């Protein structure tokens, strides 16, 4: 009796173990894969090539599209989720994120629609706007002379605007460095990562609306006096018309190149925005600014790491969200 009961116990343990293992496998099967490299390799093998090709074509025609692709990834992924909520138009119920104060100067959204249309022709309703937004940023960075950053795909699109929380998540140009570090830190981006992300200010331009407080009524004494006449010439009004095309290039030396010139400029007190100036002079960030000013490879390494973390911020995957047919409107659910 003793031996048969003990063998019965062994059998039971093994049996339960197998059942548990089987259940575990079922659970694994139910678990969504999340983001992966080359998510569309079976469902739309041409997807990434089409996006890259479109970004190149659009960049040839309109050089400033690349700045837009880069800015989009910040403005979408930093606000709760990388889910293309940024692209949704205003509806009767909700304001678009595009219309918020933080999004001032964002443009070229129609060209994202051009990319989406090209992808839809090949594979209707397969590739998300969220992935198109992220991959166009990846390819825009390359167009600007920056590093190629391999990014995962498999994001799905959100159904609602996040305009009410934009200001909680996206730092403003005149916030303290500790506040900027805290907001990006909540996404898992550390101090050198934040310093590298702000290196995106090495391309594009800043609208006068965002920098007149450093020029009027008194010129900020922290500004390099050699740089002030150019800024005053570009921004002659203390209250600029937000609709007027009045802006200063972020980096007069290499305005179309994503490079480490930005760090040399801000160390020389030529940063346009208050946040640029603080980045170079705050003891938390200054050591990294100096290192990036000396070493472009280090800047690119930290920039790539930070963009990767940003692009993977709380995405919708598996069965969450949807694949929008048009990037500016959520699908109609009957």
- Give the residue numbers annotated as catalytic, written as ranges: 75
Is residue 199 within 8 A of residue 260, CB to CB? The reply is yes
The angle that helices 296-311 and 286-294 make with each other, rounded to 10 degrees, is 120
Is residue 192 within 8 A of residue 302, CB to CB? The reply is yes
Is residue 328 within 8 A of residue 109, CB to CB? The reply is yes
Helices (H), the chain: 2-30, 47-61, 65-77, 109-122, 129-143, 166-169, 177-185, 191-197, 228-234, 261-267, 274-281, 286-294, 296-311
Q: What is the 3-state secondary structure (H, E, C) of 52-87?
A: HHHHHHHHHHCCCHHHHHHHHHHHHHCCCCCCCHHH
Specify the residue for token string 């989406």: 116
Structure tokens at 121: 């022709």
C-alpha dihedral sign at 259, 261, 265, 270: negative
């Amino acid at each position: 009796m003793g031996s048969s009961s003990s063998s019965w116990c062994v059998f039971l343990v093994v049996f339960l173990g197998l059942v548990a293992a089987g259940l575990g496998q079922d659970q694994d099967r139910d678990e969504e894969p999340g983001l992966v490299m080359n998510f569309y390799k079976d469902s739309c093998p041409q997807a990434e090539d089409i996006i890259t090709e479109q970004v190149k074509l659009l960049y040839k025609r309109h050089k400033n599209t690349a700045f837009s692709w880069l800015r989009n990834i910040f403005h979408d992924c930093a606000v709760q989720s990388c889910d293309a909520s940024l692209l949704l138009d205003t509806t009767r119920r909700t304001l678009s994120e595009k219309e918020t104060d933080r999004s001032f100067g964002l443009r070229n959204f129609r060209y994202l629609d051009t990319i989406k249309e090209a992808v839809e022709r090949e594979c209707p309703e397969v590739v998300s706007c969220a992935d198109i937004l992220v991959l166009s940023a990846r390819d825009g960075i390359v167009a600007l002379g920056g590093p190629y950053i391999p990014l995962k795909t498999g994001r799905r699109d959100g159904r609602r605007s996040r305009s009410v929380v934009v200001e909680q998540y996206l730092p403003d140009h005149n916030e303290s460095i500790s506040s900027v570090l805290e907001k990006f830190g909540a996404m898992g981006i550390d101090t050198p990562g934040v310093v590298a992300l702000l290196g995106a200010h090495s391309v594009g331009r800043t609208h006068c609306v965002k920098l007149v407080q450093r020029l009027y009524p008194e010129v900020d004494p922290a500004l390099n006096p050699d740089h002030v006449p150019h800024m005053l010439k570009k921004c002659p009004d203390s209250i600029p018309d937000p609709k007027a095309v009045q802006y200063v290039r972020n980096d007069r030396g290499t305005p179309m190149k994503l490079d480490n010139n930005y760090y040399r400029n801000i160390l020389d007190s030529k940063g346009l925005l208050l946040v640029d100036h603080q980045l170079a002079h705050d003891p938390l960030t200054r050591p990294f600014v100096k290192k990036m000013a000396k070493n472009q490879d280090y800047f690119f390494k930290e920039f790539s790491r930070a963009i990767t973390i940003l692009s993977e911020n709380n995405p919708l995957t598996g069965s969450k969200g949807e694949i929008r047919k048009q990037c500016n409107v959520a699908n109609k659910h009957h």
